[in-house]
Amino acid sequence: MAIANKIANHISKSSWIRKMFEEGERLRLEVGAEKIFDFTLGNPDVEPPEAFQRELCTLAQNPLPGMHRYMNNAGYEETRAAVAEKLSRDAGLSVSAKHVIMTCGAGGALNVVLKTILNPGEEVIILAPFFVEYKFYIDNHGGVPVEVSTEQETFQLDIDAIEKALTSKTRAILICSPNNPTGVIYPQESLRKLGSLLKNIHRRNGHLIYVISDEPYARIAYDGKSVPNIFPLVESSIIVTSHSKDLALPGERIGYLAANPTMDTVMQFMEGAIFSNRVLGFVNAPALMQRLVAKLQDESVDIAAYQAKRDLLVTSLTGMGFEMVVPDGAFYLFPKSPLTDDLEFVKLAQKHRILLVPGAGFGAPGFFRIAYCVDIDLIKRSLPAWSELAKEAGL
Ligand code: PLP
């Protein structure tokens, strides 16, 4: 075989993704792209904020000497300081540039963290439903993913279930808030509970278990809610994030990781992570983007526009009989599948020209995901098709 068995195996296990996209392509050719309601991709349809365009023009008109050269593998000091300043404000404790590494997106940051902390065979707890790529990222670094369910009706953290899943091999718990695919935000109290559970274990037998907090949607929160900063709540925490969603820059591959400054071993972790960033082949995050995002730490795309899309879909679909947890943030809905088999339901939706992702792909069969980072007109135009789909699915 021309490729490694493991990769062939991964590809075949995720073949449903390919099938789904092939079916989408077939439909597009058959009935025309404009007649398809594609809710599959977390690829924002909006443009980056004004401030980004302004900074980009300013930099293009006033190029700095050496601005395209390599820099310190951790990134520019001024960018890391700007990120640290924002984190200090959010966390209410002192984060400095030395606790921050600029990365190639959140995906890059996750791989850097996992490479840095995992010994072969160590376990990483992931909470179902979870972001599809987590298992592959963990496997990249010789780790073993351990799936734990969130609370049935709310998708909130089930701390007892997490505690039961801990073993002597547990190295990290990977959480995502606001969550992809459910949109829920984990409140302060449950993060604090998780933090004290892990702190007690560390005190008792020196077993350090990290919480990796994947938060690319942190600035996309609704109804006046915000995402609690994890640093004061969980000592052994590492934030991984990006500007793929909050500044709508997924193609530019810009993000960062930040380690909790109150963690005893923070500087040892940082030394390891800078090394990993280098040898994973990223070398450093894109220079131009680092310069720009340094000035955009308080900016975001229009959150109210996302909230309007959420409200329209939640109200309309609930009215048709679909059941769902109302998301606090991100741009996904994760309703219950009206058919027991979510793959069958997704196929039925395709008949109505609606493209969705089955919950099975997120480790949560019986649900389906809607990504509503699409034009609101597309959502409005899709409503009659949703209504037909609901009827055919027996709602
Ligand atoms: N984590 C989650 C939960 C995501 O949804 C995504 C992208 O959709 C990523 C990480 C990766 O994002 P990035 O583009 O920053 O690598």
52-84: per-residue pLDDT in tens?
Answer: 999 999 999 999 999 999 999 999 999 999 999
What's the gap in Å between 150 CA and the centre of ligand 1? Answer: 20
Ligand 1 pocket member 183 (CB < 6 A): no
The Cα 266–Cα 176 span in angstroms is 21
Please write the tens of the pLDDT for every residue from 283-337. Answer: 999 999 999 999 999 999 999 999 999 999 999 999 999 999 999 999 999 999 9
- The predicted model scores a pTM of 0.97
Do residues 84 and 97 make contact, with C-beta atoms less than 8 angstroms apart? yes
Ligand 1 pocket member 244 (CB < 6 A): yes
Ligand 1 pocket member 176 (CB < 6 A): yes
**Full set of structural domains in the chain with CATH:** 5-48+301-392 (3.90.1150.10), 50-293 (3.40.640.10)
Ligand 1 pocket member 214 (CB < 6 A): yes
Q: What is the mean pLDDT of residues 198-219?
A: 98
Substitution candidate for ligand 1 out of 180, 246, 293 with most atoms within 8 A of CB: 180
Q: Average pLDDT, whole number, for the chain?
A: 96
Cα distance between the two ends of the chain = 47
The Cα 393–Cα 339 span in angstroms is 7
Tokens matching residue 280: 């994973």
Residue 59: its H or E element:
helix 50-61
Ligand 1 pocket member 177 (CB < 6 A): no
What's the gap in Å between 50 CA and the centre of ligand 1? Answer: 23
Ligand 1 pocket member 276 (CB < 6 A): no
* Percentage with pLDDT > 90 across the chain: 93
Report in angstroms the alpha-carbon separations of 44 from 38, 39, 40. 12, 11, 11
211 pairs with which residues across the strands?
Answer: 173, 237
What's the gap in Å between 316 CA and the centre of ligand 1? Answer: 28
Ligand 1 pocket member 357 (CB < 6 A): no
Ligand 1 pocket member 178 (CB < 6 A): no
Ligand 1, atom 12, residue with closest C-alpha: 106
Substitution candidate for ligand 1 out of 177, 179, 217, 245 with most atoms within 8 A of CB: 245
What's the gap in Å between 120 CA and the centre of ligand 1? Answer: 24
- C-alpha torsion 87→91→95→101, nearest 10: -40
pLDDT at 115 over 90: yes
Q: What is the DSSP letter of 221?
A: B
- For residue 281, which amino acid is it? G
Ligand 1 atom nearest the C-alpha of 107 is: 16
- For residue 189, which amino acid is it? E
Q: Where is average pLDDT lowest: 32-46, 174-188, 213-227, 330-344?
A: 32-46
Q: Where is average pLDDT lowest: 20-29, 217-226, 280-289, 308-317?
A: 20-29
| Cβ within 8 Å of residue 294, ≥6 positions away | 76, 78, 79, 82, 83
Burial letters 266-304, b for 16+ CB under 10 A, else e:
beebbebbbebbeebebebbbbebbbbbbbbbebbbeee
Ligand 1 pocket member 359 (CB < 6 A): no
What length does the chain have?
A: 395
**CA angle at 174 for the pair 246 and 113, rounded to the nearest 5°:** 80
The side-by-side arrangement of strands in the sheet containing 368-371 is 332-333, 368-371, 357-358
| Cβ within 8 Å of residue 29, ≥6 positions away | none
Tokens matching residue 378: 């597309």
Alpha helices for 255-328 (secondary structure H)? 266-279, 287-293, 303-320
Tokens matching residue 70: 């390599």
Please write the tens of the pLDDT for every residue from 338-351. Answer: 999 999 999 999 99
Q: What is the DSSP letter of 131?
A: -
Ligand 1 pocket member 106 (CB < 6 A): yes
Per-residue confidence (pLDDT) for residue 300, from 0 to 100: 96
Per-residue confidence (pLDDT) for residue 127, from 0 to 100: 98
Please write the tens of the pLDDT for every residue from 123-150. Answer: 999 999 999 999 999 999 999 999 999 9
Ligand 1 pocket member 363 (CB < 6 A): no
